[in-house]
Structure 1
Protein backbone atom coordinates (compact mmCIF):
# COMPACT_ATOMS: atom_id res chain seq x y z
CA UNK A 1 0.00 0.00 0.00
CA UNK A 2 2.82 2.45 0.87
CA UNK A 3 4.51 1.80 -2.49
CA UNK A 4 1.26 2.52 -4.32
CA UNK A 5 0.81 5.79 -2.42
CA UNK A 6 4.41 6.77 -3.20
CA UNK A 7 3.88 6.06 -6.92
CA UNK A 8 0.68 8.09 -7.04
CA UNK A 9 2.39 10.92 -5.14
CA UNK A 10 5.18 11.08 -7.73
CA UNK A 11 2.64 11.12 -10.56
CA UNK A 12 0.68 14.11 -9.24
CA UNK A 13 3.62 16.50 -8.92
CA UNK A 14 3.10 20.23 -8.68
CA UNK A 15 -0.09 22.10 -7.80
CA UNK A 16 -2.11 18.96 -7.23
CA UNK A 17 0.33 17.81 -4.52
CA UNK A 18 -0.11 21.16 -2.79
CA UNK A 19 -3.90 20.81 -2.88
CA UNK A 20 -3.72 17.33 -1.38
CA UNK A 21 -1.39 18.60 1.37
CA UNK A 22 -3.67 21.57 2.06
CA UNK A 23 -6.73 19.34 2.51
CA UNK A 24 -4.84 16.79 4.61
CA UNK A 25 -3.27 19.17 7.14
CA UNK A 26 -4.46 21.52 9.86
CA UNK A 27 -5.19 25.17 9.06
CA UNK A 28 -4.00 27.90 11.39
CA UNK A 29 -4.29 31.63 11.85
CA UNK A 30 -0.94 33.27 12.57
CA UNK A 31 -0.80 35.93 15.26
CA UNK A 32 2.22 38.19 14.97
CA UNK A 33 3.54 40.25 17.88
CA UNK A 34 6.18 42.98 17.84
CA UNK A 35 8.54 43.78 20.68
CA UNK A 36 8.96 47.39 19.52
CA UNK A 37 11.77 49.39 21.11
CA UNK A 38 12.95 52.94 20.62
CA UNK A 39 16.53 54.27 20.61
CA UNK A 40 16.37 54.72 24.40
CA UNK A 41 15.61 51.00 24.88
CA UNK A 42 12.02 51.61 25.95
CA UNK A 43 9.31 49.23 24.77
CA UNK A 44 6.02 50.27 23.16
CA UNK A 45 2.95 48.96 24.98
CA UNK A 46 -0.66 49.41 23.98
CA UNK A 47 -3.74 49.40 26.16
CA UNK A 48 -6.06 47.22 24.09
CA UNK A 49 -9.80 47.94 24.18
CA UNK A 50 -10.85 44.38 23.36
CA UNK A 51 -8.55 42.53 25.78
CA UNK A 52 -9.51 41.44 29.33
CA UNK A 53 -10.03 44.41 31.64
CA UNK A 54 -7.53 43.10 34.20
CA UNK A 55 -4.76 42.70 31.54
CA UNK A 56 -5.33 45.29 28.80
CA UNK A 57 -1.66 46.24 28.30
CA UNK A 58 0.42 44.38 25.76
CA UNK A 59 2.60 44.56 22.73
CA UNK A 60 1.34 45.47 19.25
CA UNK A 61 -0.13 42.32 17.76
CA UNK A 62 -2.40 41.17 14.98
CA UNK A 63 -3.06 38.41 12.48
CA UNK A 64 -1.13 37.86 9.28
CA UNK A 65 -3.19 38.19 6.14
CA UNK A 66 -2.95 35.68 3.32
CA UNK A 67 0.45 35.72 1.55
CA UNK A 68 1.89 38.32 3.94
CA UNK A 69 5.42 37.80 5.24
CA UNK A 70 5.31 37.73 9.03
CA UNK A 71 7.86 40.53 9.63
CA UNK A 72 5.73 42.74 7.41
CA UNK A 73 2.66 41.88 9.49
CA UNK A 74 4.17 43.66 12.48
CA UNK A 75 5.09 46.67 10.32
CA UNK A 76 1.47 46.87 9.13
CA UNK A 77 -0.08 46.26 12.55
CA UNK A 78 2.05 48.88 14.33
CA UNK A 79 1.25 51.40 11.60
CA UNK A 80 -2.50 50.65 11.78
CA UNK A 81 -2.68 50.70 15.59
CA UNK A 82 -0.30 53.57 16.36
CA UNK A 83 0.72 55.45 13.20
CA UNK A 84 4.36 54.62 13.97
CA UNK A 85 6.88 53.16 11.53
CA UNK A 86 9.03 50.23 12.57
CA UNK A 87 11.79 48.14 11.09
CA UNK A 88 11.36 44.43 11.86
CA UNK A 89 14.26 42.60 13.45
CA UNK A 90 15.04 39.07 14.51
CA UNK A 91 12.52 36.36 15.21
CA UNK A 92 12.06 36.11 18.99
CA UNK A 93 9.52 33.32 19.43
CA UNK A 94 7.27 30.82 17.69
CA UNK A 95 4.59 29.21 19.84
CA UNK A 96 1.98 26.65 18.91
CA UNK A 97 -0.45 24.50 20.84
CA UNK A 98 -3.36 26.86 20.59
CA UNK A 99 -6.47 25.51 18.95
CA UNK A 100 -6.29 27.20 15.55
CA UNK A 101 -3.51 29.71 16.11
CA UNK A 102 0.25 29.93 15.92
CA UNK A 103 1.98 32.89 17.59
CA UNK A 104 5.09 34.48 16.09
CA UNK A 105 7.02 37.35 17.71
CA UNK A 106 9.67 39.64 16.25
CA UNK A 107 11.82 42.40 17.61
CA UNK A 108 11.19 45.73 15.91
CA UNK A 109 12.82 49.16 16.04
CA UNK A 110 10.84 52.40 15.99
CA UNK A 111 12.11 54.42 13.02
CA UNK A 112 9.55 57.22 12.64
CA UNK A 113 5.96 58.25 12.25
CA UNK A 114 3.63 60.22 14.47
CA UNK A 115 1.77 58.53 17.33
CA UNK A 116 -1.90 58.40 16.35
CA UNK A 117 -3.79 55.53 17.96
CA UNK A 118 -6.58 53.51 16.36
CA UNK A 119 -9.30 54.41 18.87
CA UNK A 120 -11.43 51.38 17.97
CA UNK A 121 -8.78 48.87 19.10
CA UNK A 122 -6.40 50.91 21.25
CA UNK A 123 -7.16 53.05 24.30
CA UNK A 124 -3.63 54.26 24.94
CA UNK A 125 -0.02 53.83 23.75
CA UNK A 126 3.05 54.49 25.87
CA UNK A 127 6.78 53.86 25.92
CA UNK A 128 7.92 51.99 29.05
CA UNK A 129 11.35 51.26 30.46
CA UNK A 130 11.96 47.66 31.50
CA UNK A 131 11.75 48.54 35.20
CA UNK A 132 8.38 50.30 34.88
CA UNK A 133 6.22 47.80 32.95
CA UNK A 134 2.55 47.98 34.00
CA UNK A 135 1.18 45.28 36.30
CA UNK A 136 -1.98 44.90 34.19
CA UNK A 137 -0.25 43.39 31.16
CA UNK A 138 -0.23 40.06 29.37
CA UNK A 139 2.28 37.79 31.13
CA UNK A 140 3.37 36.21 27.84
CA UNK A 141 4.23 39.68 26.54
CA UNK A 142 6.17 40.50 29.70
CA UNK A 143 8.26 37.36 29.07
CA UNK A 144 8.88 38.39 25.45
CA UNK A 145 10.05 41.84 26.56
CA UNK A 146 12.37 40.46 29.22
CA UNK A 147 13.74 37.73 26.92
CA UNK A 148 12.24 34.82 28.88
CA UNK A 149 10.40 32.90 26.17
CA UNK A 150 9.67 29.79 28.19
CA UNK A 151 5.93 28.98 28.33
Structure 2
Protein backbone atom coordinates (compact mmCIF):
# COMPACT_ATOMS: atom_id res chain seq x y z
CA UNK A 1 0.00 0.00 0.00
CA UNK A 2 2.81 2.41 0.87
CA UNK A 3 4.43 1.82 -2.52
CA UNK A 4 1.16 2.62 -4.28
CA UNK A 5 0.77 5.85 -2.31
CA UNK A 6 4.37 6.84 -3.12
CA UNK A 7 3.83 6.20 -6.85
CA UNK A 8 0.59 8.19 -6.86
CA UNK A 9 2.32 11.02 -5.02
CA UNK A 10 5.00 11.25 -7.70
CA UNK A 11 2.33 11.31 -10.42
CA UNK A 12 0.28 14.21 -9.05
CA UNK A 13 3.18 16.71 -8.68
CA UNK A 14 2.81 20.45 -8.30
CA UNK A 15 -0.26 22.36 -7.07
CA UNK A 16 -2.29 19.26 -6.27
CA UNK A 17 0.46 17.97 -3.97
CA UNK A 18 0.53 21.32 -2.15
CA UNK A 19 -3.28 21.35 -1.82
CA UNK A 20 -3.29 17.85 -0.33
CA UNK A 21 -0.48 18.72 2.08
CA UNK A 22 -2.34 21.87 3.13
CA UNK A 23 -5.54 19.91 3.79
CA UNK A 24 -3.74 17.12 5.65
CA UNK A 25 -1.55 19.16 8.03
CA UNK A 26 -2.40 21.42 10.94
CA UNK A 27 -2.74 25.16 10.37
CA UNK A 28 -0.91 27.47 12.76
CA UNK A 29 -1.29 31.09 13.77
CA UNK A 30 2.09 32.76 14.18
CA UNK A 31 2.53 35.23 17.02
CA UNK A 32 5.48 37.54 16.47
CA UNK A 33 7.19 39.61 19.19
CA UNK A 34 9.78 42.36 18.88
CA UNK A 35 12.22 43.22 21.68
CA UNK A 36 12.65 46.88 20.67
CA UNK A 37 15.71 48.77 21.91
CA UNK A 38 16.65 52.42 21.82
CA UNK A 39 20.27 53.47 21.21
CA UNK A 40 20.83 53.78 24.99
CA UNK A 41 19.85 50.12 25.56
CA UNK A 42 16.41 50.70 27.05
CA UNK A 43 13.61 48.41 25.90
CA UNK A 44 10.12 49.42 24.83
CA UNK A 45 7.30 47.89 26.84
CA UNK A 46 3.59 48.33 26.26
CA UNK A 47 0.78 48.03 28.77
CA UNK A 48 -1.70 46.02 26.71
CA UNK A 49 -5.43 46.66 27.15
CA UNK A 50 -6.45 43.11 26.20
CA UNK A 51 -3.97 41.23 28.39
CA UNK A 52 -4.68 40.03 31.95
CA UNK A 53 -4.65 42.93 34.46
CA UNK A 54 -2.06 41.14 36.61
CA UNK A 55 0.49 41.01 33.75
CA UNK A 56 -0.35 43.69 31.18
CA UNK A 57 3.21 44.74 30.28
CA UNK A 58 5.07 43.22 27.36
CA UNK A 59 6.89 43.82 24.13
CA UNK A 60 5.10 44.78 20.91
CA UNK A 61 3.37 41.63 19.73
CA UNK A 62 0.91 40.56 17.07
CA UNK A 63 -0.05 37.87 14.61
CA UNK A 64 1.53 37.47 11.18
CA UNK A 65 -0.76 38.01 8.22
CA UNK A 66 -1.00 35.36 5.53
CA UNK A 67 2.18 35.36 3.37
CA UNK A 68 3.83 38.04 5.56
CA UNK A 69 7.50 37.67 6.46
CA UNK A 70 7.86 37.53 10.25
CA UNK A 71 10.36 40.40 10.19
CA UNK A 72 7.73 42.49 8.40
CA UNK A 73 5.21 41.55 11.09
CA UNK A 74 7.49 43.07 13.74
CA UNK A 75 7.83 46.30 11.74
CA UNK A 76 4.06 46.49 11.11
CA UNK A 77 3.02 45.71 14.68
CA UNK A 78 5.44 48.20 16.24
CA UNK A 79 4.24 50.90 13.83
CA UNK A 80 0.55 50.08 14.41
CA UNK A 81 0.83 49.93 18.20
CA UNK A 82 3.29 52.79 18.78
CA UNK A 83 3.91 54.84 15.63
CA UNK A 84 7.62 53.97 15.87
CA UNK A 85 9.88 52.62 13.13
CA UNK A 86 12.27 49.74 13.75
CA UNK A 87 14.92 47.70 11.98
CA UNK A 88 14.62 43.99 12.76
CA UNK A 89 17.70 42.21 14.04
CA UNK A 90 18.49 38.66 15.02
CA UNK A 91 16.00 35.92 15.67
CA UNK A 92 15.72 35.22 19.40
CA UNK A 93 13.28 32.34 19.56
CA UNK A 94 10.93 30.07 17.63
CA UNK A 95 8.75 27.70 19.59
CA UNK A 96 5.42 25.99 19.47
CA UNK A 97 2.94 27.60 21.80
CA UNK A 98 -0.52 26.95 23.07
CA UNK A 99 -2.50 24.67 20.77
CA UNK A 100 -2.04 25.64 17.11
CA UNK A 101 0.22 28.64 17.61
CA UNK A 102 3.87 29.20 16.86
CA UNK A 103 5.72 32.01 18.63
CA UNK A 104 8.58 33.88 16.96
CA UNK A 105 10.63 36.64 18.59
CA UNK A 106 13.21 39.05 17.15
CA UNK A 107 15.42 41.83 18.39
CA UNK A 108 14.58 45.21 16.86
CA UNK A 109 16.29 48.59 16.91
CA UNK A 110 14.46 51.90 17.06
CA UNK A 111 15.13 53.93 13.89
CA UNK A 112 12.57 56.75 14.11
CA UNK A 113 8.95 57.77 14.35
CA UNK A 114 6.96 59.53 17.04
CA UNK A 115 5.54 57.60 19.97
CA UNK A 116 1.76 57.54 19.45
CA UNK A 117 -0.05 54.59 21.01
CA UNK A 118 -3.01 52.76 19.52
CA UNK A 119 -5.65 53.34 22.24
CA UNK A 120 -7.71 50.34 21.12
CA UNK A 121 -4.97 47.86 22.08
CA UNK A 122 -2.45 49.81 24.15
CA UNK A 123 -2.92 51.71 27.42
CA UNK A 124 0.64 52.97 27.84
CA UNK A 125 4.11 52.73 26.27
CA UNK A 126 7.37 53.36 28.13
CA UNK A 127 11.08 52.74 27.79
CA UNK A 128 12.70 50.71 30.58
CA UNK A 129 16.18 49.65 31.55
CA UNK A 130 16.46 45.85 31.14
CA UNK A 131 17.53 45.77 34.81
CA UNK A 132 14.48 47.73 36.02
CA UNK A 133 11.36 46.28 34.38
CA UNK A 134 7.92 47.09 35.83
CA UNK A 135 5.74 44.71 37.83
CA UNK A 136 3.36 42.77 35.63
CA UNK A 137 5.71 42.00 32.73
CA UNK A 138 4.84 38.77 30.91
CA UNK A 139 7.43 36.26 32.12
CA UNK A 140 8.15 35.04 28.58
CA UNK A 141 8.89 38.63 27.54
CA UNK A 142 11.12 39.20 30.60
CA UNK A 143 13.12 36.14 29.52
CA UNK A 144 13.36 37.42 25.92
CA UNK A 145 14.69 40.76 27.18
CA UNK A 146 17.27 38.98 29.33
CA UNK A 147 18.23 36.73 26.44
CA UNK A 148 18.68 39.69 24.11
CA UNK A 149 21.00 41.42 26.60
CA UNK A 150 22.96 38.22 27.19
CA UNK A 151 22.02 38.03 30.90
CA UNK A 152 20.09 34.76 30.64
CA UNK A 153 20.57 31.46 28.90
CA UNK A 154 18.59 30.95 25.69
CA UNK A 155 15.20 29.41 26.28
Q: TM-score, normalised by structure 2?
A: 0.95
Aligned residues: 150
1:97 Cα offset (Å): 4.0
User: Is 1:26–2:26 an aligned residue pair?
Assistant: yes
Residue by residue over 1:41-77, the C-alpha shift from the partner in whole angstroms, topping out at 9 and shown as x without a partner, is 1100000000000100000000000010000000000
Partner in structure 1 of residue 9 of structure 2: 9
What SS does structure 1 have at the residue aligned with 2:131? Answer: helix
What SS does structure 2 have at the residue aligned with 1:116? Answer: coil
Partner in structure 1 of residue 74 of structure 2: 74
Moved over 6 A (4+): none
CA distance in 2 between counterparts of 1:100 and 1:80 reads 25
CA distance in 1 between counterparts of 2:68 and 2:97 reads 22
User: Is 1:93–2:89 an aligned residue pair?
Assistant: no
1:92 Cα offset (Å): 0.4
CA distance in 2 between counterparts of 1:44 and 1:79 reads 13
**5+ long unaligned stretches in structure 1:** none
Report the RMSD for the aligned CA atoms in angstroms. Answer: 0.8
